Structure 1
Amino acid sequence: MQHLLGLYRASERDIALILQEAAVLKPALLSSPPQSFSFLNGKTVVLAFFENSTRTRTSFELAVRRLGGSILNFSAATSSLQKGETLLDTIANIEAMQVDAFVIRHGESGAAEIVAKHTRKVVINAGDGMHEHPTQALLDMFTLHETFGRLSGLHILILGDILHSRVARSNIFGLRKMRASVSVCAPPTLLPVGIEHFGVKVFADISQALEQCDAAIVLRLQLEREAAGFIPTLREYNTFFALTDEALSKVSHKIFVLHPGPVNREIELSSVVTDRDDTSGKSESLILRQVTNGVAVRMAVLKVLLYDRA
C-alpha cells in the first residue's frame, strides 16, 4: 500500500494491519505523560486542508507529533490558489521543498487520487467530497473491534444522510471487507440510488433497523438539507430517524452508538444518547472513545506508509 486513498481498493490485509498497529500504539497515548516515538524523525507531513476541519486536522497533527515528525500546515485561503494557481501546481511546488507526505482534505471527489497520480510522495485522503473518508472509517472499525473483540459477524447500522456521506461509503467498504454485515436507514431522499448493490440491507423504519444491529453509526445531518428539499422539516426528521431514548425503548438489547462529529444535538441524536457512557442503559456512547482512537489510528496509518514501507 503506497497511499491511503480509500477503503474501496484497500485489502482486508491492509485494514487488519492498520488496526493491529493502532492497538499497539494506543497504550502510549494513554500513558502519563503520553509516550512519543521517533518513527517519523526527519520527515515532514503536509496537512493540505481545503475544507474546514477540527477533529481530523487536530488528530493528524497530534499523530505526526507523537511519531516524531514535522508538520507543514497549508492554508488554502492564504495560498497562491487564490491567485489562480492550480491544485497540482501547488502540490508540485510544495513537493519541491522536499516534504514526505500529503494529508489532503478537499471538497471535490477524487482530489486525493488526482494528487497521488502526480506526486512521488505518500498521499493520505482525509476526506474528498462525497467520495471517501478512510481514516474515519478505520477509527470507527478500530473502536468497534475494541468494543466487541471482533468485526466479523457484527451487524452495523449506518443511520442518516447516506447520500452525501463519505463516512458512510468508507465504512460500508471497510466493514464488509472485514466480514461485518451493514445496514442503512434513512429517508428515501437521502439514500443513493442502487445502494443495495453495495451489499447492504436497507431499512425505512428505525425500530426494525435497530433491532437487528449491534452498533449504530449515526451520521451528521447537514442543516441545509431541509432548505434543499431532501427532508420536509428537521422536526420530522428528528421524529422518524433520530436516535433517541424513545427509539431505543423498542429495542430488546443494548446498542453501542458512534458518530463522526460534529453532533447536531436533538436533530440526529439526542443529548441523552450522545452523552450516555454508562453500561446500564439501552445504549452506550462510544463517541469520545472514537476521538481518542482517531489519533492512534492515524498514527498507525502514518507509520505503515512512511516508516514500515521505507
Structure 2
Amino acid sequence: MEHFISINQLSSDKIMQLLDSASSFQKNSPTFSKQIFAANLFFEPSTRTKMSFIVAQKKLGLEILDFQADFSSLLKGESLYDTVKTFESIGADVAVIRHEADDWITELSTGINIPIINAGAGKAEHPTQCMLDLLTLYQEFGSFENVKVVIVGDIIHSRVAKSNALALQRLGAKVYLSAAPGYEDNSLDFPYVTIDEAVKLCDALMLLRIQHERHDTQYKTMDYLENYGLTKQRENAMRNHAIILHPAPINRGVEIEDELVECSRSRIFKQMSNGVYVRMAILNHVLKEWGISK
C-alpha cells in the first residue's frame, strides 16, 4: 500500500488487520523513537478529522507541521502538487490531505516521495472515516456478516456514503440507502428504502447531514426531519439492539432529533473516539511500509 487513498485498495484481511491494530492502540499506544514529521494539509474546514489526526500523531510521538490554506502560497497561485512537494522538501515524512476536489490524488500520482493519507476527497471518498465507522460496528456486533446497515441522507454529495457502502458490502454486511428525492446516487448499486422502512429493518442507522456547501442551490430543511430524518417516534420503532451512527458534524433538529444525539442507542461520540486510534493505526502502517519507522 503505497499511499492510503481509497478503502477500495484494501483487501478484507488488510481492513481487519488495521481494525485489530486500532483496538490494540486503545490499550497500549506505541511511540516512535526517531523524529518523524507529519504535515496536515487541510484545504477544507475540519474539526473531527483534523483534530483526531493531531491527537493520533501526538500519541505516536510525531512532530506536527501545521498548514493554514488561507495564509499559504495558494493565495499566490501555488498548485497542490507544489505545496505538497514543498513540505516533502523541508522534511515532512508523511502528508495528510483533505481537499475539495474529487480527484486531487491524480495531481500527486507521480513525483511525490512521501506517503499520502486521504483525509477527505470532495464527494468521492473518506477512507479514514470509513475505517472508524467499521471499527465502531465491529465493536458492537463482533462481525459484519449479515449486519443490516442503512445509510440515510444526502447520499449523492457524501464521500462517507461511498466509502462505507462499498467496504461494508465487501465485508459481508447488508447495505441499504435512504434519501430524500434528488439526494440519491444511482452510481451506488444498493437498494433504497424509505426512512420508515429503514428504522424497522436496520441493525445500524448511519445518518448523514445535508451538505449545503456542495449544493448548487440551497435546500430548505424546514420539513426535512419530519419527512426524512430520525425522529423520536421513528427511533421507538427501531429494533432493541439497533444503534445510531453519524460521521458529524450534526445538524440537530434536521437529520436527527436533538435528544437522540446522545441517547442510549447513539454511538456518535464513540465514533469520534475511535477515530483517533484508527488514524494511529493507519499512520503506523504507512510509515512502516515506507521504512520510515520500524
Gaps of 5+ in 1: 29-35, 278-283
Aligned residues of 2:202 and 2:239 also touching (Cα < 8 A): no
Aligned residues of 1:44 and 1:100 also touching (Cα < 8 A): yes
Q: Distance in 1 between the 2:228 and 2:86 partners?
A: 47
TM superposition shift of 1:224: 6.3
Aligned residues of 2:205 and 2:243 also touching (Cα < 8 A): yes
String of CA shifts for 1:239-287, please: whole Å, max 9, x gaps.
111112111233444420011111100100111211113xxxxxx0001
Aligned residues of 2:203 and 2:243 also touching (Cα < 8 A): yes
Moved more, 75-84 or 220-229: 220-229
Moved more, 218-227 or 121-130: 218-227
TM superposition shift of 1:114: 2.9
Aligned partner of 1:201 in structure 2 is 191
Paired-residue identity, %: 35
5 Å matches for 1:1-310? 1-28=1-28, 36-39=29-32, 41-196=34-189, 200-203=190-193, 205-223=194-212, 228=217, 231=219, 233-277=220-264, 284-307=265-288, 309-310=290-291
One-letter amino acid of the counterpart of residue 303, structure 1 = N
For the residue of structure 2 that corresponds to 1:47, the secondary structure is: strand
Aligned residues of 1:40 and 1:307 also touching (Cα < 8 A): no
TM superposition shift of 1:74: 1.4
Give the direction of change, closer, same or farther, for the CA distance of 1:2–1:20 in structure 2 (3 Å limit): same
Aligned residues of 2:169 and 2:175 also touching (Cα < 8 A): yes
Gaps of 5+ in 2: none
Aligned residues of 2:225 and 2:257 also touching (Cα < 8 A): no
One-letter amino acid of the counterpart of residue 86, structure 1 = S
What do you get for the CA RMSD once the two structures are aligned?
1.8
TM superposition shift of 1:40: 6.5
Q: Distance in 1 between the 2:50 and 2:105 partners?
A: 16
Aligned residues of 2:37 and 2:94 also touching (Cα < 8 A): yes
TM superposition shift of 1:70: 0.8
Q: What is the TM-score with the length of structure 2 in the denominator?
A: 0.93
One-letter amino acid of the counterpart of residue 255, structure 2 = E
Q: Distance in 2 between the 1:5 and 1:226 partners?
A: 25
Q: Distance in 1 between the 2:216 and 2:92 partners?
A: 43
Q: What is the TM-score with the length of structure 1 in the denominator?
A: 0.89
One-letter amino acid of the counterpart of residue 128, structure 2 = T
TM superposition shift of 1:104: 0.1
